[in-house]
Amino acid sequence: MISLVLPDRSRWNSWVAAMDEFDGAVLHGFSTFGFDDADLRTSDVFDQWLRREVLQRSEGQDGFVPATVWWIIDDADPSEVLGSIHLRHELNDLLLAEGGHIGYAVRPSARGRGVATAALELCLEEARRRGITRILLVCETDNSLSRRTILSAGGVLENTHGIFERYWIALDGSRGRVDASH
């Protein structure tokens, strides 16, 4: 079973190992904005990142909207970070166009096991608890795996905007097309 846990020092090395598997690719959902991946391997920089993420949950930091990042773990081995998922509590213009409410990434060695689908469902539950009634998810047009994950969670394609596909998920139990004007 997949769980979402708040970042902590006990899983720090596994988180770094998960990032290493991306071999320099963009870490969607890892919330490393403003930090160099190599620097996050040092205790002091990790502690700075962790402090920012704690503050970020209630008030946007460094120009970002309030958000929560969780590490994705498998209850069978809770010491291993399988990936990361990031819920933005609100949208600004950039996120509305290209980012959405949720970003996520699963380390390559953990893919193909339903980890992203399970983590997304858990994150949607967190969004419901926060009173968010509609979630925007965005993926690149060539990312068929992310598209499949979004569709399996009930995503409804609103449009394609440049290289991005924009999907809405209604969290209030309604089905069908989501009115994006609200």
pTM: 0.91
Sequence-separated (6 or more) residues with CB below 8 Å from residue 159? 165, 166
Q: What is the pLDDT of residue 21?
A: 95
User: 5 forms bridges with which residues in the sheet?
Assistant: 71
In angstroms, the CA 36 to CA 49 distance is 10
Distance in Å from the first CA to the final CA of the chain: 35
Taking residues 135-139, report their average pLDDT.
97
Chain segment 55-107, per-residue pLDDT in tens = 999 999 888 999 999 999 999 999 999 999 999 999 999 999 889 999 999 99
All domains in the chain, ordered by first residue: 2-170 (3.40.630.30)
Whether the pLDDT of residue 120 is over 50: the answer is: yes
Over range 162-167, report the average pLDDT. Answer: 94
The vertex-102 CA angle with 179 and 78, nearest 5°, equals 140
